[in-house]
Amino acid sequence: MGTPDHGGTDAAGGDQRFDIVVPTIGRASLLALLDGIASGPGPWPEQVLLVDDRGVDSPLEVGSVPPALSARLRVLRSGHGGPAAARNVGWRAAGAPWVAFLDDDVVPSVGWRAALVEDLVRVGPDVGASQGRIVVPSPADRRPTDWERQVAGLSTARWVTADLVVRREALRRVGGFDERFPRAYREDADLAVRLRRSGYVLEQGSRVVTHPVGVAPWSISIRRQAGNADDALMRRKHGRHWRRSAEAGRGRLARHALTTVSLAIGALACCHRATRRVGTGALALGTAEIAWFTWQRIRPGPRTRREVARMAVTSVLIPPVATAQRLRGWWRARRLIPGPAPAAVLFDRDGTLVRDVPYNGDPTRVEPMPGAREALDRLRRDGVPVGVVSNQSGVARGLLQASDVAAVNARVDELLGPLDVWRVCLHGEPDGCGCRKPAPGLVVGAAADLGVPVERCVVIGDIGADVEAARRAGARGVMVPTPATRADEVVAAPVVAADLERAVDLLIGPSR
């Protein structure tokens, strides 16, 4: 196996040190993955971060870890948040300049580490990610089944995280994976689109992993239609031409919708004598579509009795399930603020997180607004940093001491949980400072403190100065009005939510 060494610095490609992140649900294939990483020559990862996404308290059973990796292995937990959440937990715990994401059901080829570093040596400073080659074994003695052909699609898919190495700085800049994608579908395409829009280049590498075809239940093709809901989120985030940006195939949703609507119209119309002819035509169209779809799935396969029966049953069910899933995704995404998930959410204090007590310096008078703790906790569970940006001109007016403001802020932390950043302006309006809202200083400073791009922050407040400060900083603003909010401020606000819970819905989607 050779003497363990670390990725170093090369004049051509910069620093090639890397960590490996593997989200896992405890598959038996995990040990084969670790054996593959350890096989052959090449620099060793700084860390191998296994992110346990099972959502159970029992320890993750890894098996006999190769000795060369045991000292570098760390097991983290992501609380059953899905692959995107697990990968975020992993890369945020990483420290190397590059983060290599591998799925727990792939097997790296011998010498994968050396090939990875060779890929990294060749990249330029504008490259944000490198995709490995994925090989899916085909059966040697027969045609592949429908499920095997679906898995084989990974070999030509673009920017999938079965083997994807990304600059850690690029991940930080775009905020990592969007955890609104709950399954292993489209979260990688979404990341690729955002990396490119941030100016990064994505390249194809030469390293290879093998992705065996696992055993799947007969209903797997029906279950996979849940991805249509994620397609609705992609459209909401990236516009109607998102498939072009993500280099994704066109899909069959339009024909599935046509089939579903035709059958529904036919069934309803045939119930009435006056419309029976229309109903018969619609049923014929829907039936023809199903027959064509079924044959397209049967034709390239092994055509065994079992496979034909499976295709016949699932081809009838797929169109309405796909259509229903797309409608479900549209319903969930319809009110989301277009654009990426927030890198941080900054709240006004008085009137937003806690009831507005003018010039309050008494911690005992702090009372959270309805839903404030729940809204903050939802963002925390999704890994979104939260903070406060607050004007406290009572100090400049001589009505408060800075220590009074700090005591009230400490009470807010106590009642609502610790905030990741506090930015407070103690000046008065005549001082003309650059931090007092609606000036952008508090928002810009809070983003800098958190290490996130200010344009990916959202400011939630109850008055016009809050959303105006967001606009001037280049962030997004959401207004949650109170009875004290002026009507003209509500009209002028770019986005208005009835309460904090609905404001968070706009940002990360309704709670699942």
pLDDT for res 511: 64
Q: Do 443 and 477 share a domain, yes or no?
A: yes
- Contact indicator for 414, 367 with CB cutoff of 8 Å: no
Name residue 88's amino acid.
N
Q: Do 375 and 454 share a domain, yes or no?
A: yes
3 in a structural domain: no
Average pLDDT on 357-380 reads 95
Task: Give a three-class secondary structure readout of 319-335.
Answer: HHHHHHHHHHHHHHHCC
22 in a structural domain: yes
Q: Which domain holds residue 361?
A: 344-508
Q: Which of 350, 382, 404, 462 does the annotation list as catalytic?
A: 350
Q: Do 360 and 475 share a domain, yes or no?
A: yes
Task: State yes or no: is 350 an active-site residue.
Answer: yes
1 in a structural domain: no
98-119: per-residue pLDDT in tens? 999 999 999 999 999 999 999 9
**For the chain, how many residues are written?**
512
189-223: per-residue pLDDT in tens? 999 999 998 899 999 999 999 999 988 999 999 99
pLDDT for res 6: 43
Q: Is the pLDDT of residue 241 over 70?
A: yes
Task: State yes or no: is 362 an active-site residue.
Answer: no
The last residue of one of the domains, among 216, 237, 264, is 216
Question: What is the largest distance, in Å, between two alpha-carbon atoms of the chain?
Answer: 86
Helix (H/G/I), strand (E/B), else coil: 496:
strand
Pairing of strands 107-108, 201-210: antiparallel
Cα 376 → chain centroid: 18
Q: Is the pLDDT of residue 5 over 70?
A: no
Q: How confident is the model at residue 512 (pLDDT cuts 50, 70, 90)?
A: low
488-505: per-residue pLDDT in tens? 999 999 899 999 999 998
The last residue of one of the domains, among 303, 336, 369, is 336
List beta partners, residue 129: 166, 202
pLDDT for res 432: 85
Q: Do 387 and 349 share a domain, yes or no?
A: yes
Name residue 48's amino acid.
V
Q: Do 429 and 324 share a domain, yes or no?
A: no
Q: Do 209 and 160 share a domain, yes or no?
A: yes
Give the helix/strand (H/E) hosting 492. helix 487-492
Q: Do 359 and 490 share a domain, yes or no?
A: yes
Q: Is the pLDDT of residue 180 over 50?
A: yes
465 in a structural domain: yes
Q: Do 420 and 293 share a domain, yes or no?
A: no
4 in a structural domain: no
Q: Which structure tokens are listed for 346?
A: 């900054």
Q: Do 466 and 329 share a domain, yes or no?
A: no
pLDDT for res 10: 44
Average pLDDT on 288-310 reads 96
Contacts of residue 270, defined as CB under 8 A and 6 or more positions apart, other chains included, come to 276, 279, 280, 283
The last residue of one of the domains, among 182, 216, 250, is 216
Residue 467: name the closest of 457, 481, 456, 478 by CA.
Answer: 478
18-56: per-residue pLDDT in tens? 999 999 998 889 999 999 999 999 999 999 999 999 988
Residue 390 DSSP label: E
Average pLDDT on 374-383 reads 89
Residue 139 DSSP label: P
Q: Which of 105, 188, 231, 348 does the annotation list as catalytic?
A: 348
CATH at 480: 3.40.50.1000
Q: Is the pLDDT of residue 2 over 60?
A: no
Q: Which structure tokens are listed for 271?
A: 């119930």
Q: Which structure tokens are listed for 155?
A: 């070999």
322-335: per-residue pLDDT in tens? 999 999 999 888 87
Q: Do 309 and 374 share a domain, yes or no?
A: no
Name residue 123's amino acid.
V
Peptide bond into 438 cis (omega under 30): yes
Give the helix/strand (H/E) hosting 379. helix 372-381
pLDDT for res 469: 96
CA distance 473 to 443: 6
Helix (H/G/I), strand (E/B), else coil: 193:
helix
Give the CA count within 13 Å in the CB-facing half-sphere of 312.
Answer: 7
Whole-angstrom Cα Rg for the chain: 27
| Through-space distance between the first and last CA atoms of the chain, rounded to whole angstroms | 46
CA distance 224 to 87: 21
Burial per residue of 203-224, b for 16 or more beta-carbon CB atoms within 10 angstroms, e otherwise: eebebbbbbebeebeeebbeeb
Q: Do 51 and 133 share a domain, yes or no?
A: yes
Q: Is the pLDDT of residue 412 over 80?
A: yes
- Contact indicator for 109, 134 with CB cutoff of 8 Å: no
- Contact indicator for 112, 4 with CB cutoff of 8 Å: no
Mean predicted lDDT score pLDDT of the chain: 92
Structural domain tally of the chain?
3
Helix (H/G/I), strand (E/B), else coil: 370:
coil
268-282: per-residue pLDDT in tens? 988 887 788 898 999
CA distance 340 to 300: 39
CA distance 434 to 504: 28
Residue 198 DSSP label: T
- Contact indicator for 503, 480 with CB cutoff of 8 Å: yes
Percent of the chain beyond pLDDT 70?
97
Give the helix/strand (H/E) hosting 387. strand 386-391
Q: Do 205 and 104 share a domain, yes or no?
A: yes
Helix (H/G/I), strand (E/B), else coil: 495:
coil
- Contact indicator for 508, 379 with CB cutoff of 8 Å: yes
pLDDT for res 173: 82
* CA dihedral (489, 494, 500, 502) positive or negative: positive
64-104: per-residue pLDDT in tens? 899 989 999 999 998 888 999 999 999 999 999 999 999 99
Residue 366: name the closest of 421, 423, 407 by CA.
Answer: 407
Q: Which structure tokens are listed for 289?
A: 């579509």
CA distance 222 to 63: 33
